[in-house]
Amino acid sequence: MKTLNSCLALAVLVAFAGCSTHSTTVVNQPVGPDLAPPRVDLSHGQGRLVVYTVTEVNDPVNSYFPTHSSYAIYTTDGKLVKRVDNRNGSFYQDPAPVSLPPGKYNVKGRATNSGEVTVPVIIEAKKTTVVDLEGTNLPQHKPTGAGQWIRLPNGQVIGMRVE
C-alpha cells in the first residue's frame, strides 16, 4: 500500500510539473518616436506605430512565409483601441503600420523569448514609433550612448527611450 501511495503521489507530481502559468512582462518606461527626422508625412496630425512582433507561420499548407503575430493597442486606462492583424507587404511578412492620434498608449503583444509583454508607447504627430518585440530590427549588441534604448528584462532592445 505504501508503494501504491508513493507511485500515486509521484504521478500527481509529474502531472502538475508541466503546468505553468503564462505571465506577462510589463515594461515601465515608454517607447517613443525615433530621434531621426520623420520618414513619412502623415496628414491630420496623426502619428504612426510599427510593432515587430514574434513571427509565425499561420498556414503552413498554403504559405511558408512567416508573418508577424497580432497585437492589441490600449489606452493608458486599459480600454481597447484596436486589435492589429500585424501583416503587410507582398507576402504579409512586414508589420502593419497603424496611424494613431498623438498620445500615450499600451501595446500588448508577443516578444521573442519573453512571451507576452505590455509596453507603454508615446505617439507624436507626424513621427513613427517603432517597437521591436521580435529582436531583429533595432541594434541589439551595439554600444549605445547615454542609455537611449528601452530593453526587456532579458536585455533585448525593444525601442527608443523618450527624451
pLDDT tens figures, 24-79: 788 877 777 865 555 555 557 899 999 999 887 666 556 567 888 899 999 999 99
5-29 pLDDT, tens per residue?
Answer: 444 444 444 444 444 445 778 887 7
Domain boundaries, the chain: 24-161
Backbone angles phi, psi at 132, to 5 degrees: -110, 85
**131 to 13, 20, 95: CA distances (angstroms):** 40, 28, 11
DSSP letters along 106-151, please? EEEEEETTTEEEEEEEEE-TT-EEEEESSSSSS-SSS--GGG-EEE
Which triple of cell numbers denotes residue 151? 530593453
- pLDDT surpassing 80 at residue 81: yes
The Cα 103–Cα 52 span in angstroms is 20
Please state, as a whole number, how many other Cβ atoms lie within 10 Å of the Cβ of residue 72. 14
Q: Which of 122, 86, 98 is nearest to 40 (CA)?
A: 98
Q: What is the pLDDT of residue 141?
A: 56
